[in-house]
Chain A
Amino acid sequence: GQNIDQPTEMTATEGAIVQINCTYQTSGFNGLFWYQQHAGEAPTFLSYNVLDGLEEKGRFSSFLSRSKGYSYLLLKELQMKDSASYLCAPIDSNYQLIWGAGTKLIIKP
């Protein structure tokens, strides 16, 4: 079967750095997305990785290791507005997104 594993909830302090991990098992692999979702709102695109390594985009970076079935999202200089859920979504061999339940990130002052 296909499976995504992310921590349910994490807490971090404003200004700090946090890493949200995602491990996945999918039938084939065609890349992996990270989306941000604020409470009661729709997901918004953060990043896409298809090759191994780190992709940096401002305060947010995403890493992928295909051989390990592992990705992480790194958030630097945390701001209160970063309080949201972060969803990991690998793409399987049929080009279907397999969504994780998301990691709820709580930022404290």
Chain B
Amino acid sequence: DAMVIQNPRYQVTQFGKPVTLSCSQTLNHNVMYWYQQKSSQAPKLLFHYYDKDFNNEADTPDNFQSRRPNTSFCFLDIRSPGLGDAAMYLCATSRDRWGNEKLFFGSGTQLSVL
């Protein structure tokens, strides 16, 4: 089945220790997104790629970086995680970025910062 896969499902890191979350997709979608979601809050868009074109949200901290080496893979790097970065990180894809293109989500990575 075509899908969006996130690894790992749970990630524990130490305060200030760099961490990388990964996402892969077999849908061949052009757009890949990274969202941060804290408990009982709306998902917050961090950035998205339209093909190789990187789009950073204005309020995404510099601590967050992303890479998309090819169509299938996208990575979220948190350079120096703080306690406030503990959250669920959701990767999503869409065929295009216009109109009614629904998002397909991976299962998410729950990040804990100790």
Interface residues of A (CB under 8 A from B): 4, 8, 30-31, 33, 40-45, 48, 50, 87, 91, 95-97, 99-102, 104
Contacts and interface: CB of A to CB of B under 8 A. Distances in A.
Contact of A41 (B44, B98, B100, B108): B108
A82 B56 CA distance: 35
B41 A41 contact: no
27 contacts: A4-B42, A31-B99, A33-B103, A40-B88, A41-B107, A42-B90, A42-B92, A42-B105, A42-B107, A42-B108, A43-B103, A43-B105, A44-B105, A45-B102, A45-B103, A45-B104, A48-B100, A48-B102, A50-B99, A87-B43, A91-B99, A95-B99, A97-B45, A99-B43, A99-B44, A100-B42, A101-B40
A85 to B, nearest CB: 8
Contacts of A44: 105
A33 B94 CA distance: 14
Contacts of B42: 4, 87, 99-102
Interface in B9-64: 40-45
Q: By DSSP majority rule, is chain B's interface helix, strand, loop, or mixed?
A: loop
Contacts of A42: 90, 92, 105-108
Contact of A104 (B40, B45, B104): B40
A3 B36 CA distance: 18
Interface of B: 40-45, 88, 90, 92, 97-100, 102-108, 110
Contacts of A50: 99-100
